[in-house]
Structure formats: C-alpha cells, structure tokens
Amino acid sequence: MQRQTLNEYPVEPQVAAMRQEAEDTIDLVEVFYLFWGHLWQIILCLILGAAVAFSYTYFLVTPLYQATAKIYIVSASNDSVVNLSDLQIGASLTADYQELLLSRPLLQDVINNLSLNMDYNTLESMISITNTTDTRILKILVTSPDPQESADIANELVNQAGIYLPNIMETDAPNLVESAVAPASKSSPSYSKNTMLGGLAGAVLCCAVLLVRFLMNDTFVTPDDIAKYFGVQPLATIPEGDLGGFNSAGRKREKKKSKRKKGDAK
C-alpha cells in the first residue's frame, strides 16, 4: 500500500476533529515499542557518550587538589579562661574574619611570600572560607592543580591571618586548630561520575531524536493508522513489494513481444 500523508486527504469537520485529537495524543505504548525497536541504537549512543565524556575528562580536564587548614577565632581572657563574653564576641566576629581573610593586602602578602605566579583575583578564586555551623571554627579550603601548592597557600594564609587580623581588629590572634597537608588524591574531576553523565546524555539525546522523528512522521504505515485518524476500518490492503513469479512472467512476455516486433521490422 502506497503511503500517504494526512494532509493529502480531504476530510469532514468531525473527522478533522478526530484527527486533531489523535495527533495531540501520545501513545506511551507506541513510544515504548519505538524505543524497544531501536534499543541497539540507544545503547550505542550511551556507549559513545560515555566514551566521549571519559576521554574529555581524562585528556582535557586538569585535576585539582584541595588542602584544608582550620583556625579558632576565640582566645581566652586573662590568658587562661574563656568566658561567656569571649564566646559571644567570637560568634559575632566570625563574618568579619571570613571577609578579612580574603582582603587584598593579606592575599598579596601570601603571593609575595610564596613567590606565586598569579594575581590577587586568581588567588582569591582558589580560596573558600566556611564556618562550621554553631562553632567559631573557620575552615580555609584552597584548591589548586598542584597538591603541595594548595597546602602551602592554606598554611601561609593562616600565618598571615595571625599577623594581619589582630592589627586590623585589635583582638588576639586566631588559634591554629589544624595545619594543611598536601592531599594524596585529587578532589576533581570524577571519572566515574562524568562517564555516567556522558553515557546518560548520549542515551537521552538518542531517545529525543527518535521521539521527534516519530511525532513528525504523519504517514500511514498500517491499517490501524487509518482507523486511528479517520475512524474507519479499511476493507483491504494492497501490499508493496516484488510479485515474484508474476513479475518474471510479465517480463518474459514483454521480451517475446519486443523480439517479434524486431523480426517483423526486418
């Protein structure tokens, strides 16, 4: 049966409404069988996406390392005892410490002391300072492509904080809780995570292309399509394809006729 598009058929308003309703409805069963019929393509796209994501992560993404140092921002009054006033002052000054630790003069001293080949803005983007909930402990996290450099920056930042902050805030120097050490393993990227995300993206993209092609296809493929869009069941169908022996016999008759015509012409 030769395929026809929906727009080639003149229809009555009732049939047009039925067609529009059918076009606006997505049959989930058909979509499932669509994906099932193209399962090998989806799996291939999944493998391809995973391979591309892994290759990109392995060859093009620079590994990063993180080192952490911690300081305590409350010192004892009278050189021995921490009283309630010290705790309250420490809690109120936590935000000030976080802001001042990223100030330009302090970071510039870190750059000069470590002879870093970077500017103030670059160093600031490598540093993250957070406050553990309900504590007066600040965690200084430094991210760098060099594991030893990340530890050196974190420790030097703590040292400069002990010099710079008391002069600005007229308070005691923060106490060191934990020095930074060079990390043994990278913090990012994650090969497994990126590979899984790449494979998932490839499979989703393949399914999206198949679904769009399915929704854009308005040709009649089976008699059920005619019943679906026009509400009538066809009585018979004429299959497409080679008629086998009938076509062979017809070709033989045509050849004999052409030979006879040539003989008559001679």
Residue whose C-alpha is closest to residue 145's, from 125, 119, 131: 125
Residues 1-37: b if buried by 16+ CB within 10 A, e if exposed: eeeeebeeeeeeeeeeebbeeeeeeeeeeeeeeebee
pLDDT of residue 90: 52
User: pLDDT tens, 101-128?
Assistant: 999 999 999 999 999 999 999 999 999 9
Predicted confidence (pLDDT) at residue 2 exceeds the cutoff of 50: no
Mean pLDDT, the chain, as a whole number? 79
pLDDT of residue 227: 64
Residue whose C-alpha is closest to residue 54's, from 186, 199, 202: 199
pTM of the predicted protein model: 0.66
Q: Which domains does the chain have, with CATH numbers?
A: 6-57+193-260 (no CATH), 65-178 (3.30.70.1130)
CA distances to 48, 51, 79, 191, 202 from 59, rounded to whole Å, are: 16, 12, 55, 11, 20
Mean pLDDT of 143-168: 93
User: pLDDT tens, 211-248?
Assistant: 999 888 767 666 666 666 666 666 666 666 555 555 55
CA distances to 150, 166, 204, 210 from 51, rounded to whole Å, are: 31, 53, 15, 21
User: pLDDT tens, 71-105?
Assistant: 987 655 545 455 545 555 555 677 888 889 999 99
Angle between helices 28-37 and 39-60 (to 10 degrees): 70
Cα separation, 4 vs 8, in Å, equals: 7
